[in-house]
A = this chain, B = another copy of it.
């Protein structure tokens, strides 16, 4: 009477890998890179240690896979948030949207990987190219959202500055989350930016 549903190996494998990668990102957010041991990940994912090692022979394999996975999640979240920005108060709301993204768990996970990658060559090799890709996409998206004309001198730099600003705000938010402060700063920058872009 075992009503066990038959699941294909490919399906099982994909699901298992996804669970492990998600658990890895969760652990990064909750315990930081240093506190993210492979044992902890397998427990969090509800996966036996043997299964984990079967899909990802080394911890580095898992982390690198999680980096790729995280990049996709970040891209998707950003795109969704961008689509939800209202038309009125364009600049202000675009900046707030960016500010929110750079204070979200996915950013925190990316931050942990970023900082760890600085002193781990194997991680850096995986993080650097993906980060550049996300950076370029985010830049392009921001230019489009703001309707900025990059052919005018200084405009490109101002968009870059805006993105580095929200990155800095996101870093500050990891220790003391002060949303009101962040929004005040972003609102003022929105006014200044509007003046400089037109």
Contacts and interface: CB of A to CB of B under 8 A. Distances in A.
Interface of A: 30-35, 108, 111-112, 114-120, 124, 127-128, 131-132, 154, 157-158, 160-161, 163-172, 174-176, 181, 184-185, 187-189, 191-192, 195-196
Contact of A33 (B34, B167, B174, B185): B34
6 contacts: A34-B119, A127-B175, A163-B168, A164-B165, A164-B172, A168-B169
A14 B128 CA distance: 41
Nearest to A28: B119
B188 A157 contact: yes
Contact of A158 (B111, B127, B161, B192): B192
Given A132-B176, A154-B191, 5 more contacts: A34-B116, A115-B115, A128-B176, A164-B172, A195-B195
Contact of A114 (B128, B154, B171): B171
B32 A188 contact: no
Contact of A161 (B30, B116, B157, B185): B185
